[in-house]
Chain A
Amino acid sequence: MDFELSEKAIDFRSQVKKFISKNLTTEIISKMHETGTFNDKSFNESLASEGLLAGAVPGYGDRDPVELYLLFNELEKAGAPYDGLAVTMLVAGVINAVGTEFHHEEVLNKLLSGKHNCCLGYSEPDYGSDVASITTKAEKIGNKWIINGQKMWTTMAHESDWVLLLTRTNSEVPKHKGMTMFLVPMNTPGIEIQPVATMASERTNATFYDNVEVEDQWRLSEVDDGWSVMGIALALERGVMGGTNPAVPLLKHVINWAETTSSKNKSLMINNALMRERIARTAIINQVGQLLTLRAAWIAATGGMPGVEGSMAKIYASEEYQKVVGWFQQMAGAEGLLSFGAEDAAASGWIDYDARHAPVTTIYGGTSEINRNNIAERHLGLPRSR
């Protein structure tokens, strides 16, 4: 196995690094944490104008998945606002896979400009992990569809021009076979967005659809084929598009803090044996997270669908991230509770922030339990348990 990146990939990564050091200001990072919107359109637009965004669409053009991984990994390590971008590029990848010419022109090309965002409308108040049971209804009347229902966790809805919306179009067939996916323009009358605040400052939304009328051309793939579109979206999402190295920036903040902070015995925290053991273990976790993600990218680069491998990377990185955050928050004692801007906050508040953020990472994008079901059934060959 060659762990050396290709020259093309190394070149791409250095372009991304250069871009980040030039364009990612502390103002951008503070703004994302103040507003809770982890998306910055002008940053995205600059990425596009540097020609780096086309590489962010899975399966698009001549970019390979390793470059896609590199882009998001660099953004993640730098603490850049990339959540909105990841979802947007995921939708771009789905359009690239199953979209019509109309979708390419009307949506994909615009997404590649960095000026526009998309959000995901899968979950509902009563159906999260059991997403195939959703009830938001789309009814065809003439050449139009009338949509009614409610979606939860439509993060970035307030920044988006389109929502990738999973709807129920047939209740007479088994639930997986009666759903249809749409790309719905967010400015369509009848859509209402309500913000949902979270414990980690990140804003998400509930969205309401009241007799929302869309032309048939906004349908993505065949009627009742929504579940297979979901399958594509999930395989693209897990693993490769960021989220598997969250403890890299955390470790940087923690080391900086430990080098400048005294522990109870007056010696620096960095000399504390438990601290050093945990730093070492975190560095291993970061390497393994990277390797599992790269493996998923390698599989995708050679034409495979890394569904199970993506699940492995996702479970590993998110579960370990929570463990690591817990270690360092506890080691920081009372100061580990202090937030951004508070005097004496451990690691300038990053420990508190990461401890607030970590719980959602084993929930969104497929809970650990859903990913374990996936591995148990599709990799270990154990019988379906639900």
Chain B
Amino acid sequence: MSADQEAIQDVFSSFFAAQTGPESVRNSMPLGFDPKAWERLSETGAPGMGVSLPAGGGASLSDLVIVAEEAGAQIAPLPIIDHVVASRILEKLNALESEILTGNLIAGLVLRPVENGIAKSVPTGSIANRLIALDEDKILLLKDEPPNKSLPNHGDLPIAHRGIKNATVIAEGVEATSVFKRGLHEWKTLISAFLVGITRSSIEMTVSYVKDRHQFGKPIGSFQSIQHGLADLPGLCDGARLLVNKAAWSGDREITGEINLTDNEISDFATLSSMSLIFAAETSLQATDRGLHYHGGYGFSEEYDIQLFYRKARAWSQIINSPSDECLHLADLLLEDKEG
């Protein structure tokens, strides 16, 4: 990590700890969005940090990964990842509005193909003033007031279905499509970083719990069965972080990467972002699952934070694709010349 990146980490780790975290998640139910924290975040300039330097941003994908992990560590109920990726897409398609950069307008992505003019289960659906969608080879932009009402859901995300019949076509063709698709790779990379943050915090809070909680006259963390269940997790967390960092590194490079399975050399961005999502998701499921279990009955109670991390991990893991479908997409990339 460069000195600049360490500074980014310091700033955002303090910001998300102070302004978000489990209490903000609880207070923002059932909408799944904390408008006050978003206002504070907008004051830092973060909503505009992802666009190019001349446009007032300048953060690389590797920088954004650091922000996303810190957001995940506090399960921040803020649409920062969607918003930043959407702003990067809009800038490339010459459709950026200044109010997006200031955070006055919230922008989001329709992650899945649109069906009959309806964008289903959009993770920023209940709060986004702007939504970008891909329909065949057209990029659609919806400018509409959000419903401000979320569909009740597992992860308390601001999920809503949105009709996009009123959306306008802002670009079309191969190039525009590839801008949108690249945006999805960036989204996967950043959500993976968010999931790494969830994993990291779940390990920390569980380790601290098992050191405090006594049964049979001893801290339960002194029992080998619990130690071994926890000992697998830091390596998975670090492995996920390394993979996410590698994906961001490949995304920041100007050159096309390679996919070589025989040599285990992979530097292609689409491939690495998909790998990151699958792995960071699986890892976060495992870390929150064991974490909740080692909290015993308390872990299941609303009062304890681990259940929030448990549900957030599941929600972000499959909002774009089921893990199996994401694997099949990855297999298509890996076995490109092979039938599928």
Does A283 contact B266, Cβ atoms closer than 8 Å? Answer: yes
Q: How far is the CB of B328 from chain A (nearest CB, A)?
A: 6
Q: How far is the CB of B310 from chain A (nearest CB, A)?
A: 20
Contacts of B324 in A (CB 8 A): 273, 277
Q: Mark B296-340, 1 if CB is under 8 A from A, else 0.
A: 000000000000000000000000000010011011101100111
**Which residues between 369 and 386 of chain A lie within 8 Å of chain B, taking CB atoms?**
369, 371-373, 375-377, 379-383, 385-386
Does B243 contact A287, Cβ atoms closer than 8 Å? Answer: yes
Contacts of B234 in A (CB 8 A): 312, 375, 379-380
Does B261 contact A255, Cβ atoms closer than 8 Å? Answer: yes
A271: Cβ under 8 A from any B Cβ? yes
A1: Cβ under 8 A from any B Cβ? yes
Does A3 contact B238, Cβ atoms closer than 8 Å? Answer: no
Q: Mark A219-251, 1 if CB is under 8 A from B, else 0.
A: 000000000000000000000000001001001
Q: How far is the CB of A251 from chain B (nearest CB, A)?
A: 6
What is the bound-complex CA distance between A369 and B222, given in angstroms?
15
Does B231 contact A287, Cβ atoms closer than 8 Å? Answer: no
B269: Cβ under 8 A from any A Cβ? no
Known contacts A286-B264, A292-B238: does B327 contact A280 (CB below 8 Å)? yes
Q: Mark B192-230, 1 if CB is under 8 A from A, else 0.
A: 000000000001000100110000000101111001101
Complex partner residue of B331 from A2, A259, A279, A291, CB under 8 angstroms: A279
What is the bound-complex CA distance between A284 and B273, given in angstroms?
11
Does B222 contact A270, Cβ atoms closer than 8 Å? Answer: no
Known contacts A268-B339, A313-B235, A379-B234: does B227 contact A385 (CB below 8 Å)? yes
Known contacts A255-B261, A291-B242, A315-B235: does B338 contact A270 (CB below 8 Å)? yes
Known contacts A3-B246, A316-B236, A372-B227: does B264 contact A290 (CB below 8 Å)? yes
Q: Interface SS of chain B: helix, strand, loop or mixed?
A: helix
Q: Mark B226-254, 1 if CB is under 8 A from A, else 0.
A: 01101110111011101101100110000
What is the bound-complex CA distance between A273 and B332, given in angstroms?
11
A252: Cβ under 8 A from any B Cβ? yes
Contacts of A288 in B (CB 8 A): 239-240, 242-243, 279
**A279, A280, A286, A376, most chain B CB atoms within 10 A:** A280
Interface residue count for B (Cβ, 8 Å)? 49
What is the bound-complex CA distance between A330 and B206, given in angstroms?
36
B278: Cβ under 8 A from any A Cβ? yes
Contacts of A377 in B (CB 8 A): 227
What is the bound-complex CA distance between A270 and B62, given in angstroms?
35
Does A373 contact B279, Cβ atoms closer than 8 Å? Answer: no
Known contacts A3-B249, A295-B242: does B331 contact A280 (CB below 8 Å)? yes
Does A281 contact B327, Cβ atoms closer than 8 Å? Answer: yes
What is the bound-complex CA distance between A312 and B230, given in angstroms?
12
Complex partner residue of B335 from A1, A279, A287, A382, CB under 8 angstroms: A279
Q: How far is the CB of A284 from chain B (nearest CB, A)?
A: 5
Does A271 contact B242, Cβ atoms closer than 8 Å? Answer: no
> Residue on B with the closest CB to A270?
B338
Contacts of B264 in A (CB 8 A): 77, 245, 248, 286-287, 290
B174: Cβ under 8 A from any A Cβ? no
Contacts of B249 in A (CB 8 A): 1-3
What is the bound-complex CA distance between A245 and B267, given in angstroms?
17
Contacts of A386 in B (CB 8 A): 224
Contacts of A385 in B (CB 8 A): 222-224, 227
Q: Mark A288-306, 1 if CB is under 8 A from B, else 0.
A: 1011101100000000000
A276: Cβ under 8 A from any B Cβ? yes
> Residue on B with the closest CB to A4?
B249
Complex partner residue of A316 from B62, B203, B239, CB under 8 angstroms: B239
Does A259 contact B338, Cβ atoms closer than 8 Å? Answer: yes
**Which residues between 309 and 329 of chain A lie within 8 Å of chain B, taking CB atoms?**
309, 311-313, 315-316, 319
Complex partner residue of A312 from B62, B235, B243, B328, CB under 8 angstroms: B235
Does B267 contact A383, Cβ atoms closer than 8 Å? Answer: no
Q: Mark A253-285, 1 if CB is under 8 A from B, else 0.
A: 001000100000000101101001101110110
Does B330 contact A283, Cβ atoms closer than 8 Å? Answer: yes
What is the bound-complex CA distance between A312 and B203, given in angstroms?
15
Known contacts A271-B339, A316-B235: does B223 contact A283 (CB below 8 Å)? no
Q: Mark B250-274, 1 if CB is under 8 A from A, else 0.
A: 1000000000011110110000100
Contacts of A286 in B (CB 8 A): 261, 264
Does B242 contact A292, Cβ atoms closer than 8 Å? Answer: yes
B53: Cβ under 8 A from any A Cβ? no
Contacts of A319 in B (CB 8 A): 232
Q: List 8 A-B contacts (CB under 8 A).
A: A3-B267, A248-B264, A280-B278, A280-B334, A283-B330, A377-B227, A383-B221, A385-B227
Q: Name the 7 nearest CB pairs between A and B, nearest first.
A: A312-B235, A276-B331, A376-B227, A372-B231, A291-B242, A280-B330, A288-B239
